[in-house]
Structure formats: structure tokens, C-alpha cells
Structure 1
Amino acid sequence: MQTELLGIIATFALTLVIAIPLGNYLAKVFAGKRVWTNIFSPLENLIYKIAGVNPNEQMDWKQHLKAMLTINTLWLIYGFFVLMYQDRLPLNPDGNAGMSPHLALNTIISFVVNCNLQHYSGESGVSYLTQQFIVMFLQFVSAATGIAIAISFFKAFKEKTTNKLGNFWQHFTLAITRVLLPLSIVIALVLAFNGVPASYEGKDQLTSLQGDSISVSRGPAAAMVAIKHLGTNGGGWFGANSAHPLENPSYFTNMVEAISQMIIPIAMVIAFGIFIGRRKLAWTIFGVMTIGFLLLLVPTLQSELGGNPKIAQLGITQVSGAMEGKEVRFGPTATAYWSTITTVVSTGSVNGMHDSTMPLTGLYQLLAMMINAFYGGCGVGLLNYFVYLIIAVFIAGLMVGRTPEFLGHKLEAREVKIAALVTLISPFLIMCGTALASYTFTQHGNAAWDTTPSAWLNNPNFHGFSEMLYEVTSSNANNGSGFEGLGDNNMFWNILTAIILLFGRFIPIIGPLAIAGLLAKKKYIPESAGTLKIDTKTFALMTFAIILVLNALSYFPALALGPIAEYFTMIK
């Protein structure tokens, strides 16, 4: 067990060793400074020329949002029809069928919004063509979208007063050519040389030790596994995701994949401080995020390593902790660490089954997604934290009797209302979505909105409620992981989560960028003795308290009905 703990400590330490200099690199790239990846400039200029884009044309926050929403709509339409008719297209050696309209709608929205919620099984639900030209393509561009909007947010606070937030298309292109693509190539090569498939051949036929004939799916998985983690996407090439032995063959690849999904979210925080010239603020934000992360990780480890009390009551000694749903290649320690980072940074990939984790572990996974601001996704995690920061500044200003200011800009009613709306939308979507699912299940039974009367829940009790709560929360947080005891590939869940996916993705992007754009246009107010310092330990504690209080008030009743009730039932 000590060795396993050292393994996750080493994984997190290596993550920081890579993420901190990566943050410095990101700040230089998007500030237009000279870096080695300037060798890609001819390729970028070709892209701009073909697309008819002037990268030097400045945009305000409204133009950024217009560009983002327009291109995302085009991707949605394109992918919807390809998914429905994939059985008639090439690169389908296993003969996988086309998707139903409601599954295609859910799937394409899920990948456009960087959630990668999969209501299909990877190797049997999509063809090689759709895996690469829909799924993997969207894993690049959805991550680049989040980074591009975050850079616009950076530029809002770089100058004292400005309406020029850079060019969305330039930020978007650089995010791919200078960040995601080079890192993906390196990680894909590492994975390919360590056992992850990278071929276009169809299923392989093997004979087991018992003499049974087995069909083993394969394909060019290494490239997708790299970008699914780097871009905090999470959708697996195989249905079992990174618990599959071909997607994550060893403890070494497990470390590589765990590190890759954390480096960009952390690097974006570091880059923010460097970019706007306020490194202390960035380290303060990083400190709050890291404390929140550890407060979720440590009790998760305790929960999983403590074993299952029901098994202990049978007189069975659990040497390795709670092993149900865990891969023996990784054990409960590495799986507990993965379950924390994948819900904290909104990746949603799994190396074990979350549905089999202990009730309190499920509680911490849900809390990580509900807060959705401890590191968070590529770029968007920092935007989510910014909303909490604005509310903390507003409340602190009221407490000291001063007009609240953020980085030299007066915070007024309009900005606070937008922050309040963004804060309220998540609990509204999660609570209403879960309530609607619970009502539909109890009123119409297992056949609700489904063409075939298959069971929704394997556990129609407290855990069953947690399964529905988790599905809705994961959709809202752009996470994509699930308690897979829930039968979710039916019309009800496909449509419900599709709606939540859209609102859960774009409102937390639109709101913070609008606030940043509005503040950036205001007259700059120089700091004085009475200015509220937002890079101090006291204010960091204030922000952390705001995060805890808001989420406790919003979600405690639902959590009490699900994982908390299940925990007390289990120990009784």
C-alpha cells in the first residue's frame, strides 16, 4: 500500500513538474513571443488563408462568442448526419450500424461541448471513420474552443482599459498547432510503444486458454487516447475506457494518462498570472484549487482503501481495500486517485468503474463535478473559478462598505447579476433534471421513453437515485463519466442530457467572458490603500468559503438522498 501511495504522489509531482513550465510556455505563445513552435507559422498562415481569416483583426467579447457559437453549430450539424449514416461510409471494417436519431443527437452534442458522455459502447457503437473524423476531431476542436475563450478572458485583464480581446480564430488555431497537436503526438507515441493499438485492421480472432474463439477489437486507439486526456475530453476508444487493457495496458501508461489530463488545466492557471503580470494572484488561485483537490482526494483514498464493511462483516479480510470494479493492474489507490482527477478536471475517463466505488467516494466524485472549479477543464475551469471570485469580491465589498473592484475595474450590478445567473444555472439543471428523471421512472416504470422495455436502474434504491443524479451532474459539468448501472441509451436520457449538455457548456463560457468584456471596457482605477487585495491568503480563504457554502446550500439535499443515505444504510 505504501508503494501505491508513493505511485500517486509521484504522479502528481510529475504533473506539476510538467504543468508549471507549460504554463510559462502558454503565456508566451498567446502573447505572441518567440517560442520553438513558431516553426508552425507557415501552416497557420495557410489555414488563415484558406479560411479567409485575418488573425490580426481584433474582436470584442460579443464577436468572440458569435464566432464560437457559429463554428460549434456547424460541427454539430456535420457530425449528426455522419453518425446516423456511418454504416454507409468507409472505414467500417467491423460493420457497425448507424446511430438512431436521438442517440446521434446526444452523441454529437456531447462531443461538441467537450463532455464525451457516451451512451454507446466505443468499439461497437462507432466506426473507425467516425472515431477519427468526428470523435477525435471534436476532441481537438472542443478543447481548443475552451482554451481560445480563456485567452480572450486573459486579454481582458492584460490592459488597463480595452475592448480588444484578440482574435478568436487565431487563439483557436494556436491552441491546436502550438499546444494540443505537439503534445498529442508525443503522448500517442509513448502509448503506442507501450501496447496501445495504432492500426486500422478490424477485429482480431484469438483462442482463449479454454479453447473459446474470441473477437478482440482494435484500431488506431493511441492517437485518440492521447487527445482525450490532454483536452479533458474523456471519451474512450473502447467501451470500458481506460480500464480496458488495450487502452491502458500498464501502470506506466496509467501514469502517463493521469498526468496528461491534468497538465493543461493547471498550466492555464499559471499562464493567466504570467500573461496579465500578476503571478501572485495565479498562485493564490492555484493554492485554493489544490486545497480543494486534496480535500476530495484524501477522503476518497480513505474510503476506497478502508474496504467494504459489508464484506468485513462476513469475516473476510480485505488486504487491498475495496477491489470491486477495480483493475488489478492499478488497484484501489491508483483508481481512487484517477476518479478524483477525472471528476476535478472534467475529463470523465475512468480506469475503474465509478458505479462500484464506495458510497462516500461517489459523494466526492459528485462534489468535484458540482463545484467544477478545482482546476476544471481546458480553459473553462478557470472561467468557472472566476465566477466564484466575482461573487467573493462582491460580498467582501459589502462587508467592508466599499464599491467592489476587480483588478482595477469597478464591479457593478450588471456583472454581479450575470455571475449570479451562472452560479444558479448549474443547480437548476442538476436538480430539475434529476427530479424529472425520478418522476418519470416512478410514474412510467422502466419502459419510459424507450422503444424496448429495458430496465433503467440495476439498483432502484438510494444507489439508483445516485446513478440518475450522477448522470445529470456529469452532463452539466461536461464530464462524461457515469454510474453505469443506469441504462441510459434510450430516448428519455438521450434528449434530457443533450439539453443539459448544451446549457451546462455554453452558459459558463458566455457568462464569464461577458463579465470580463464588460469590466475591461471600464475606466481603470489605480490601486490605493483601500483597494481590496484579491491575492492574499485571507481573500483566498474567503473564496474557498464561498465555494463551499454555495455548493452545500445547492446540493446537500440531493446528496443526502443518494450517496449519504446509501452510506448510512451500508454501515447499519
Structure 2
Amino acid sequence: MNDISYVFVFFTLLLLAAPFTGYYMAWILESKSLPSERLVFRYLGLEHLENQKPKEYLKSLIVFHLIGGILLFLILSFQDKLPFNSLKLAGMDWDLALNTTISFITNTNWQAYSGESQLSYFSQAVGLTPQNFLSAGVGISVLAFAGRAISSTTKQEFGNFWQDLYRSVFFILLPLSFVLAILLVSQGVVQSFADTIQTIGFDGNPVSIPLGPAASQVSIKQLGTNGGGFFGVNSAHPFENPTPISNFLELFSILFLPAASVFLYGKAVGSFRHAWVVFFVMLALILLGWAVVFLSETGSVGFWEGKETRFSLTESSLWLSATSAASNGSVNSMHDSYSPLAGGVGLFQIMIGEVIFGGVGAGMYGMILFLVLTVFLSGLMTGRTPEYLGKKIESYDIKWVLVGILSPTVCILIGSAVTVMIGSGYTATGPHALSQVLYAFSSASGNNGSAFAGFGADTIWGNLALGVCMLVGRFSVIASVILLTGNMGRKKTTEKGLGSFRTDSLLFGGLLMGVILIVAGLSFFPVLSLGPILEQILISNGKLF
């Protein structure tokens, strides 16, 4: 299959599958009752779940993360005293355990360690894998809350967090992950609790080949846009991604549920036309990014280091575009080895806020901030009272929009500046060193999890600073969206008139794309000019870093 055909088939399948899946997700989340749900909640002592106000919903969400975070931290710190540890691995140092805990509860899956050599099977299967489900379920839950709030008429309660989370995990993520795990096993992805295989390498030296329950973790890490990997080199490892078919399945899974989340939102707010506009804006941005990456990689200078020869350049470049557009940190090639322009595209897509499909639920609820901002700016330009889907936009709403958009931006810029000043983590010189640092803090603040491999994050500063950025990048956006949409939900929905600003038109799609690119450009173009852009210019003149 040639390059264009591969990309065409990939996005055509995404286009066909996303609307139906989004409709199914909406049906699950809005059903009055689901099989086994009452029995489970009765067993947990939660028989009478009541709808929650925005602050109550947010409080439940934060308490849930605190409990899950403490449990995961203890598992990682004391894995040497827990079962299924055939390599007799020690517990993680406190700062690395804290960084890893924050990483997985925030759906980032940033890894400052090599999974197969530093984590036991128990830590992988019991500690990390459940968080892949739960963090993705939180993203779907927050989006469901936002959709209910915006579509309501003067109500103040918009669903229950515990019910939304249960339905997201057990009726959406778990069934899909089970099917994908079976398909991956059929392609040779390992799924075993057997001891590490001891053998002799080609050079005559002893070699340890770890196995482990990889397929079950890979399936949810991709479907849940968690990223990370069972093995240190991620989906570039032949045990984690052995064939072109497994590569396609994993790559498709990265964008599958984020794309469906757009139509979940459209169903929730009662406007599939609006959802289609948002979807095509996202599609246009990711295709534009892929085209730049692909053309840069196939130019006069070949950047072949760090790419798996069993995958074509189309497969590798499309993966880079998808994983940096979605909130997914998995890789099937090393981003640090791409041309500066190609790596810069991945970096820029993360900096935008990962709203080009983004994470499961998270990409779409992050896009809500840009939708409201676009309507607000359009209203200012035309002299109209800005309204989004019949809800008037006021100063309170715009304040939370700005908090949600600017908080991760501040983390990226300040964190990168301090890291460069103290000389921590980066191994390169010149502009590429700045690119390594920028990518690390963008990945953490955008809850992405991928990295330029030359950046060493396992230091006290790296673990703590990136951990703080992960928390800010996740919860500042969640809090902003919940409080913004909760406030809009209390307002009366006005009827559409001749003066209403349509949000389901080609014009609105163009304005939305312009606002995204302008906001990101104003925030990051100066620092990008000193990093990947300058490096690309210097490489064109024969200077390498």
C-alpha cells in the first residue's frame, strides 16, 4: 500500500467509526439504568446517587485521585515486598515513584524509567494498568458533565461523578480493551506472567528477555490515550508491536475514542452539525501536521536513525503526528531522531493543548475552551453579545477559559527556562538542547508522556518539576471546564434568531482554526524560533547538533 492510500484508508475508517461510537458512548452515559449497575452501587453503599453541582463533582474527582495516587505510590515504593517480582527489583526511589504516580493518575504516562527493567509484573498489572482505565474514564466523565451543563436550561446539577466513571470504565473502555488485547495477542504481542527468559546473545554474552502482561496494558494505553509502554522503547519494541497489523491497530486506537468523543459531545449538546465542524477542524490540523512531518523526513537529508525498519516512513510519521495530536505518549520511533522541523511539529501540536483530537474526553473538553473563546472574540469583532449554543458568555466564563488555556502554557515556559538555567537533563548542545527541554515540559503540561530520548528526567528536579506540570496541566483544565460549563448551565438558553452566531458553519470552523493557531503562535513562536526552527535552518547550512 502506498503512502497516500495508507493515510486515506486510516482516516476514512476513523471517519466512519467515530460518529457511531460517539453515539454509543452518549447512550451509555445518559441511560437511566444499565445492567449490574444498581447491584454494584448497592454493594458499595452508593444506592442513591444524586446529581452533583459543579463544585461537588470536582470535589469527588479530586478525592478519587488522591486515594488512587496514594495506593499507586505505595505499590511502586514497596514493589520489592509484593508478589510477581521475578527479577527481584527494588522499590522505586520516592521522587521517581511520586513522578510516576502523578504521571499515571493524570493520564500522562510520562516514564523516567524503563518498564521491563525497573517495574515488577505486579506493579505493571495491578499498579499502572488500572490507572490507564481510570484516568481515561475521568476524561470521558468530565466531557459528559460539560455536555449536560451546556445543554441544560437553568439547572444546577449535571450528573454524578461516580456513576459517570463507572459507566465509562466498565461499559466503554473495558470491552473495547478486551477485544483489542485479543487482536494484539494474535499478532504476537506478549501476554504472560512467566519468568524472564535467560539465553545467550549473538555476541556470546548472557541476555535476559523479559516477558510480562504486555498486551492487556498496551490495549488500554492506546485506547485510553495514556501512552507509555510496558517496555522502555514502547511500541518500537517487537514484543509490544511486532507486525504492520499490530502497528495499524495500535495507531488507529490512539485516535479512535478521542474522535468519537467529539460526537459524544455533539449528541450531548444536541448538535451533530457542530460536532462535524469541530471534527473537520481537528482533521485538517492533523493532516497538515502529518504532511509537514512526512515531507521533511523524505527531503534531501535522510533522518533514518531511531526508526524501526519493519515500519515504513509513512507509518512512523503518522504515528508521530497522531501521538502528539492526541494525549498519548507512545512511540514506534524515536522523536529525538526526527528532523528539527518534524520534531517541531510534534512539539507544537502538544503545545496547542492537545485539542487536535487530544485525549479521550480531554481533547474535546479542552476544545470547549477554544470554542467559547472563538465565539467571544467573534462577538467582540461584530458588536454582538457573544453566545455559545444559546448561552451568554460573561466575564466569569472568560476568566476560566483563560485559566484553562494559560496555566499549562506558563508551566511549559517557566519550567523550560529554569531547567535550561540550571543545566538539568538535556544532553544535546545548541538549539537541540532547548528542543529537548521544551518537549519534556510540553509533554508533561499537555499530559502527553512522549519525550525526546536524549532528555534525562530521572533527577530530583526533573521528577518534581515535571510532576507539578502534569498536575497543573490536568487539573487546571478540568477545573476550568467544570466551573465554566457549570456556570453556563445555570443560564437560560436563548432561542436562535437572525442575529445569532452559528457554530455549525464553515466560517466558524475557519475562525476556530485561526484562534487555535494564533493563540498557540503568540505563546510559543519566540521560543520555537530558538529551538527547532533555528536548528532546521542551521542543519540546512550543514551544521549538526
TM over 0.5: yes
Q: Does 1:436 align with 2:405?
A: no
Q: Does 1:548 align with 2:517?
A: yes
CA drift of 1:396 comes to: 1.0
**Aligned twin of 2:500:** 531
CA drift of 1:391 comes to: 1.1
Q: Does 1:505 align with 2:465?
A: no
- With 422-431 and 130-139 compared, the bigger mean Cα shift is at 422-431
**Aligned twin of 1:79:** 72
Name the aligned partner's letter for residue 346 of structure 2: Q
- The DSSP-based 3-state class of the residue aligned with 1:205 is strand
Aligned residues of 1:53 and 1:169 also touching (Cα < 8 A): no
TM-score by length of 1: 0.92
Aligned residues of 2:445 and 2:472 also touching (Cα < 8 A): yes
Distance 1:230 1:555 in 2: 29
Distance 2:41 2:397 in 1: 34
**Aligned twin of 1:385:** 367
Q: Does 1:25 align with 2:7?
A: no
Distance 2:381 2:428 in 1: 47
Distance 1:307 1:352 in 2: 20
Q: Does 1:424 align with 2:406?
A: yes
Q: Residue 220 of structure 1: which of 199, 202, 213 is its match?
A: 213
- The DSSP-based 3-state class of the residue aligned with 1:157 is helix
**Aligned twin of 2:322:** 341
* Structure 2, unpaired ranges of 5+: none
**Aligned twin of 2:2:** 3
- The DSSP-based 3-state class of the residue aligned with 2:151 is coil
Distance 1:23 1:296 in 2: 25
Q: Does 1:13 align with 2:6?
A: no
Aligned residues of 2:320 and 2:335 also touching (Cα < 8 A): yes
**Aligned twin of 1:331:** 312
Distance 1:4 1:405 in 2: 43
CA drift of 1:110 comes to: 0.4
CA drift of 1:536 comes to: 1.3
Distance 1:93 1:77 in 2: 25
CA drift of 1:345 comes to: 0.7
Name the aligned partner's letter for residue 237 of structure 1: F
**Aligned twin of 1:451:** none
TM-score by length of 2: 0.97
Distance 2:65 2:407 in 1: 21
Aligned residues of 2:144 and 2:268 also touching (Cα < 8 A): no
Name the aligned partner's letter for residue 359 of structure 2: G
Distance 2:103 2:47 in 1: 30
**Aligned twin of 2:350:** 369
Distance 2:12 2:2 in 1: 15
**Aligned twin of 2:396:** 414
Q: Residue 294 of structure 1: which of 283, 287, 292 is its match?
A: 287
Q: Residue 353 of structure 1: which of 334, 338, 350 is its match?
A: 334
Distance 2:255 2:264 in 1: 14
> Can you list the C-alpha shifts for 1:386-429, whole angstroms capped at 9, x where unaligned?
11111111111111212111111111111011112222212211
What do you get for the CA RMSD once the two structures are aligned? 1.4
Distance 1:93 1:57 in 2: 46
- The DSSP-based 3-state class of the residue aligned with 2:184 is helix
Aligned residues of 2:303 and 2:337 also touching (Cα < 8 A): no
Distance 1:45 1:96 in 2: 41
Superposed, 1:28-47 pairs within 5 Å as 28-32=27-31, 38=34, 41-42=35-36, 44-47=37-40
**Aligned twin of 2:153:** 160
CA drift of 1:463 comes to: 0.7
> Can you list the C-alpha shifts for 1:65-110, whole angstroms capped at 9, x where unaligned?
0110000011111111211111111111111111001001100000
Q: 1:100 to 1:470 in 2, by over 3 A?
A: same
Name the aligned partner's letter for residue 379 of structure 1: G
- With 210-219 and 225-234 compared, the bigger mean Cα shift is at 210-219
Identity of aligned residues (%): 37
- The DSSP-based 3-state class of the residue aligned with 1:214 is strand
